[in-house]
C-alpha cells in the first residue's frame, strides 16, 4: 500500500512508516492541482493543518483508506466526507499540548512586556524604552475560554504567576474547573466583563468561529489583552483590529490566522500585536511525539487494527 506524506513530519515518523512494506512518498510542496492529480494512487495521506481534506479531495481520492492528521485540530478535514466513504481519520490529540500551552505563555509575556518590539528596536540600534512599558500578570484576572487539554495546562502555568483564573467552557464539569483552580463563568459575557486578559483554547467549530467579536469586545474592560494560540478566527480578526484601534484591546499575541499562510492580515501592521506563524506545536518534542504517533496510527489503521485516536 502507498502512503503520501504531504506536510513535514519528524524523520522518526517517516522511519516508522518505512519499517513495514508500505511505499512512502514524501511530497511536501505539491500544488493543490498536483495533489488532486496524484491522490488516486494512495491508500493513506499524512497532513498537518495546511492541506484541506474536503469533498473535492475525497472525490479524487478513490483508493484512500486513512487520513493521518499529525496534530490536534481536525478543522482542515471534512469528517462527514470521510465517514460516508469509510475513510478512517486519525490524529494525535495529546502529543503537542505542552508545546501549545508553553507557546501561549510566550505570546502572552511577549505581548504584554513588548519583548518582540524591544528586540526589534535594539536591533535597529535604538536604545530607548519609550512606549514599551508593560503590565504585570500578578493579581490580574485571566479569562480562559475552553478548559480542555491545552486550556488546563495554561491554567496550571498561570497559577504560578499569581493570577486569578476564570473560565468559560459549557461542556465540562465543575470538578474540572475546581481541579485547575479556575472559577466557572456560566456565560462568555460574564467572563468578558471581568477579565483583564483572555486566552482561547477551544476547537474551531461553527459555534466557536468568531465567538469573540465586536459584541464581546464592547463588554470588555478597557485595556484588555488577548492571546489566540488555538485557531484563527475564534477571535474575529477584523473585530480585534477595530478593538485595538479603539483602545479597547491593549495588546494581542496571535499564533493562528483565519487564512494560513498569511502575510496580509491587518494585524501585521499593529505595533501592539505579536504574531508567530503557527508555531504552537513547533518544538522538537511535540514534532517527535506527533510524527511517531501519527505514523503508528496510520500503520495500525491500514492493517485493520484498533486505533486509539480514530
Ligand atoms: P480539547 O478538545 O482538549 O479542549 C477544547 C475545550 O474547548 C474543551 O474542553 C471543550 O469543552 C471546549 N469548548 C468547545 N466548544 C466550546 C465553546 N463553544 N465555548 C467554550 N468552550 C468550548 O482541545 P485542545 O487539545 O486543548 O486544543 C485546543 C485548541 O488548540 C484547538 O483549537 C487546537 O486545534 C489548537 N491547537 C493549536 C496548536 C498550535 O499550533 N497553535 C497546537 C495544538 C492545538
Ligand atoms: C495542531 O492542531 O496540532 C496544531 O495546530 C499544530 C499543527 O498544525 O501541526
Cα distance between residue 54 and residue 42, in whole Å: 16
How far is CA 256 from each of CA 102, 132, 287, 290, rounded to the nearest angstrom? 15, 24, 18, 19
Is 297 close to ligand 1, i.e. is its CB under 6 Å away?
A: no
Question: Please, are residues 224 and 196 in contact by the beta-carbon 8 Å criterion?
Answer: yes
* Separation CA 154–CA 144 (nearest Å): 9
Provide the 8-state DSSP code for 53: B
Torsion of CA 9, 10, 12, 17, to 10 degrees: 10
Among 69, 234, 280, which is best to mutate for testing ligand 2, by the most ligand atoms less than 8 A from CB? Answer: 280
Catalytic residue among 225, 278, 296, 297: 278
Dist. CA 233–CA 227, nearest whole Å:
12
User: What is the per-residue pLDDT for 107?
Assistant: 98
Show the CA angle centred on residue 76, arms to residues 73 and 78, nearest 5°: 110
CA-to-CA distance for 236 and 238, rounded, in angstroms? 6
- Confidence (pLDDT) at 6: 98
Q: Give the 3-state secondary structure of 219-244.
A: HCCCCEEEEECCCCCCECHHHHHHHH
Query: How large is the angle between the packed helices 97-112 and 149-159, nearest 10 degrees?
Result: 50
Can 297 be counted among the known catalytic residues?
Answer: no
Of the residues 201, 231, 237, 296, which is catalytic? Answer: 231
Cα of 291 from ligand 1 centre, angstroms: 20
DSSP 8-state symbol, 266: G
Most informative mutation of 7, 47, 73 for ligand 1 (most atoms within 8 A of CB): 73
Number of H helices, E strands in the chain: 12, 12
- Closest residue by Cα to atom 41, ligand 1, is 280
pLDDT for 41:
98
Note whether ipTM > 0.95 here: yes
* Catalytic status, residue 296: no
- Ligand 2 centroid–CA 81 distance in Å is 21
Q: Which ligand is nearest to the CA of 290?
A: 2
pLDDT for res 71: 96
Q: Would you call 47 helix, strand, or coil by DSSP?
A: strand
Q: Is the CB of 231 under 6 A from ligand 1?
A: yes
137 contacts 191 by C-beta, under 8 angstroms: no
User: Which residue carries 508500505 as its cell?
Assistant: 22
Ligand nearest to the CA of 68: 2
The finding on whether 100 has its CB within 6 A of some atom of ligand 1 is yes
Which residue has its alpha carbon closest to ligand 1 atom 11? 171
CB 107 within 8 A of CB 153: no
231 CA from centroid of ligand 2 (Å) = 9
Q: Which ligand is nearest to the CA of 255?
A: 1
> Pocket of ligand 2, candidates 7, 77, 97, 100: which has the most ligand atoms within 8 Å of its Cβ, to mutate?
100
d(C-alpha 9, C-alpha 68), whole Å? 11
Q: From ligand 2's centre to the CA of 247, what distance in Å? A: 31
Handedness of CA 76, 97, 278, 137 (dihedral sign): positive
Ligand 2 centroid–CA 211 distance in Å is 20
Residues of the chain with pLDDT under 50: none
Element (H or E) spanning 200, and its range? strand 197-200
Give the model's pLDDT for residue 251: 98
Residue 201 annotated in active site: no
Ligand nearest to the Cα of 152, by number: 1
Amino acid at each position: 500500500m502507498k502512503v503520501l506524506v504531504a506536510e513535514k513530519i519528524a524523520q522518526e515518523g517517516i522511519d516508522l512508516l518505512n519499517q513495514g512494506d508500505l511505499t512512502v512518498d514524501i511530497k511536501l510542496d505539491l500544488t493543490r492541482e498536483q495533489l488532486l492529480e496524484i491522490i488516486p494512487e494512495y491508500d493513506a495521506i499524512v497532513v498537518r493543518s495546511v492541506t484541506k481534506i474536503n469533498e473535492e479531495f475525497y472525490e479524487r481520492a478513490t483508493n484512500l483508506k486513512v487520513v493521518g492528521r499529525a496534530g490536534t485540530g481536525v478543522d482542515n478535514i471534512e469528517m462527514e466526507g470521510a465517514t460516508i466513504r469509510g475513510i478512517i481519520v486519525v490524529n494525535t490529540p495529546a502529543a503537542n499540548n505542552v508545546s501549545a500551552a508553553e507557546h501561549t505563555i510566550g505570546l502572552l509575556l511577549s505581548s504584554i512586556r513588548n519583548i518582540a518590539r524591544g528586540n526589534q528596536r535594539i536591533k535597529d540600534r535604538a536604545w530607548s524604552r519609550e512606549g514599551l512599558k508593560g503590565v504585570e500578570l500578578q493579581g490580574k484576572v485571566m479569562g480562559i475560554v475552553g478548559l480542555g487539554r491545552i486550556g488546563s495546562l495554561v491554567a496550571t502555568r498561570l497559577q504560578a504567576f499569581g493570577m486569578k483564573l476564570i473560565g468559560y467552557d459549557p461542556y465540562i464539569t465543575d470538578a474540572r474547573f475546581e481541579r485547575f483552580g479556575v472559577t466557572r463563568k456560566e456565560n462568555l459575557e460574564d467572563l468578558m466583563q471581568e477579565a483583564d486578559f483572555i486566552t482561547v483554547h477551544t476547537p474551531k467549530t461553527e459555534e466557536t468561529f468568531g465567538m469573540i467579536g465586536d459584541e464581546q469586545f464592547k463588554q470588555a474592560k478597557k485595556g484588555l489583552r488577548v492571546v489566540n494560540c488555538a485557531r484563527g478566527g475564534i477571535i474575529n480578526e477584523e473585530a480585534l483590529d477595530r478593538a485595538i484601534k479603539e483602545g479597547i484591546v491593549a495588546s494581542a499575541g496571535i499564533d493562528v490566522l483565519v487564512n494560513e499562510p498569511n502575510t496580509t492580515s491587518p494585524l501585521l501592521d499593529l505595533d501592539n500585536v505579536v504574531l508567530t506563524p503557527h508555531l504552537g506545536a513547533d518544538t522538537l518534542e511535540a514534532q517527535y511525539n506527533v510524527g511517531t504517533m501519527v505514523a503508528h496510527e496510520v500503520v495500525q489503521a491500514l492493517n485493520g487494527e484498533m486505533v486509539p485516536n480514530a
